[in-house]
Amino acid sequence: MSAAADVVVLGAGPAGLGAAYRAAGAGHRVVVLERGSAPGGMAGSFEVAGLRVDLGSHRLHPGIEPRVLADLRALLGEELQRRPRNGRIHLDGRWIAFPLRPVDLVRRLPPGFAVGAARDAFLAPFRRPRADTFAEKLRAGLGPTLCERFYFPYAHKLWGVAPEALSGEQARRRVRADSPAKLVRRVARGVRGGASADFWYPRSGFGAISERLAEAAADAGAELRFGALARRVRLGSGGVRVDVAGAEPVRGARLWSTVPLPALARMSEPAPAPDVLAAADALDFRAMVLVYTVLPVRRWTPFDAHYLPDPSTPVSRVSEPRNYRDGDDPPDRTVLCAEVPCSVGDELWRCDDEGLTELVVAALASRGLPDVAPVATVVRRLPSVYPVYRIGFEHALEALDAWAAAHPRLLTFGRQGLFVHDNSHHALAMAWAAADALRPGGGFDDEAWAASRRRFATHVVED
């Protein structure tokens, strides 16, 4: 197979764009294929009623690698703002500040909750997980009060699976404060104005990060093709070929894929062995419907996000994009973004705009919040949002990963490429690491990449 590009990148989310920007900047010929019409993937932005909105609540965590942050600051300049967090969680009928703050906890936490959590913290040294499940790991670490009243109902809502049926890995990769000591440290960090108390955010929406990366990649010589759906991937020993819907095939020396790993296996030639295809079918993603309601007021509340763990509503979080930034948003309207986790094809996924608007209005009623009377609704549906780590998922993931690793011309990374829960700053760290491992002559440093993969395995999601 003759190579037109040194690297063909599948997907123009943060991972694909970051890799294209860095590899093209190092002098490699890069082609990016993205099925969507704009950069950003799940971390993109678009306009609703003249306001830029994200695909659910997005913030750039200050735990980002310093060198990646330095590059983003150089690309975004003053547009990248450091902002204080200002969210709330609805717990037992009360609003608790999130990130947690000691004074607020003392004042607002329902007494029964506080007493239960304190007793659980005291008894923590005597609890041990009886199995490696999400439920057991957190019950042993945090105790029944926090689990039954917050983590378990929220987990069920987000991932659509009982916490007892989720692997312990889901807790390790998703819950940073998984013991009373870590919880206390986290609250203390917030008091000192540390890492969990603020975040980075572009004044024109989170998607600006990907948009600037796309521009920088193009300036460095990368070719970015939007509306380019990869349908089939031919993995040869001397190069790769990608068949694109309605266009000429694209050839390259290497394929860097950030699309969902199971989908990549299904579209690859030669076809993976039946057990690998079965592994691809065993891994599933939770979907999400995003409901944007337009309100004819400047600001609904001063808070950036409201978290709704209780099972009385399928809505998991409602964010108000204008509160994430000090930007140029219109003075006479605001937009709320409600996140509704679901499964592709289920009742929530199929619900029409009117039904979804009613659902959001009902979710926010009777919680001590200002009335929500939308003048318009816009809905977006995302099929692959959260990887679901059911018990035993590790075997399927290992089989797929081993299949991918056996192809010397193929690299998979990014949130969906590795089937991980990671934040954008993790996806960007992977992109930088991939480009670093690409040698000037086109060779690839497998050892450096293996070391990076070990580092990625320690990523824990930031909420």
Ligand X SMILES: Cc1cc2nc3c(=O)[nH]c(=O)nc-3n(C[C@H](O)[C@H](O)[C@H](O)COP(=O)(O)OP(=O)(O)OC[C@H]3O[C@@H](n4cnc5c(N)ncnc54)[C@H](O)[C@@H]3O)c2cc1C
Residues within window 322-361 making contact with ligand X, judged by CB under 6 A: 339
56 contributes a contact to ligand X by CB under 6 A: yes
Please say which residue, 136 or 462, places its beta carbon nearer to ligand X.
462
196 part of the interface to ligand X, by CB under 6 A: no
Q: How many residues touch ligand X (CB under 6 A)?
A: 34
Binding mask 59-88 for ligand X (x = CB under 6 A): xxx---------------------------
Choose which of 212, 424, 434, 449 interacts with ligand X (CB under 6 A): 424
Reference 58, options 326, 339, 284, 438; nearest CA is 339
Q: Which of 98, 179, 112, 124 is nearest to 149 (CA)?
A: 112
Residue 355, C-beta contacts closer than 8 angstroms, at least 6 positions apart: none
Specify the residue, 14 or 141, whose C-beta has the smaller distance to ligand X.
14
Under the criterion CB under 6 A, does residue 362 sit at the interface with ligand X?
no
- Map the footprint of ligand X across residues 251-310, applying CB under 6 A: 258-259
Name the minimum Å distance from CB 211 to ligand X.
13
Helices of type H across 248-312 = 261-267, 274-282
Supply the DSSP string of 37-85, one letter for each residue. Answer: SSTTGGG-EEEETTEEEESS---B-TTS-HHHHHHHHHHHGGGEEEEE-
Q: Which is nearer to ligand X, 14 or 239 (CB)?
A: 14
Q: Which stretch binds ligand X (CB under 6 A): 55-63, 93-101, 219-227, 395-403?
A: 55-63
Distance between CA atoms of 438 and 311, rounded to whole angstroms? Answer: 48
Angle between helices 207-219 and 14-25 (to 10 degrees): 30
136: left (phi over 0), alpha (psi -120 to 50) or beta: alpha
d(CA 64, CA 310): 31
Stretch that binds ligand X, among 23-31, 33-41, 177-185, 321-329 (CB under 6 A): 33-41
**Which residue blocks in 202-315 are alpha helix, DSSP H?**
207-219, 261-267, 274-282
For residue 148, give every residue at least 6 positions away whose Cβ sits within 8 Å of its Cβ, in sequence order, or none. Answer: none
Show the binding pattern over residues 146-185: x = contacts ligand X (CB under 6 A), - = does not.
----------------------------------------
Burial class (CB in 10 A: 0-12, 13-18, 19+), 152: buried
Among 7, 43, 295, 364, which residue sits at the site for ligand X (rule: CB under 6 A)? 43
| Residue 230 sits in the site that holds ligand X (CB under 6 A) | yes
Residue closer to ligand X by CB (options 88, 139) is: 88
Candidates 173, 254, 415, 459: give the one binding ligand X (CB under 6 A). Answer: 415
What residues make contact with ligand X under the rule CB under 6 A? 10-16, 33-36, 41-43, 56-61, 229-230, 258-259, 339, 385, 414-416, 422-425, 427
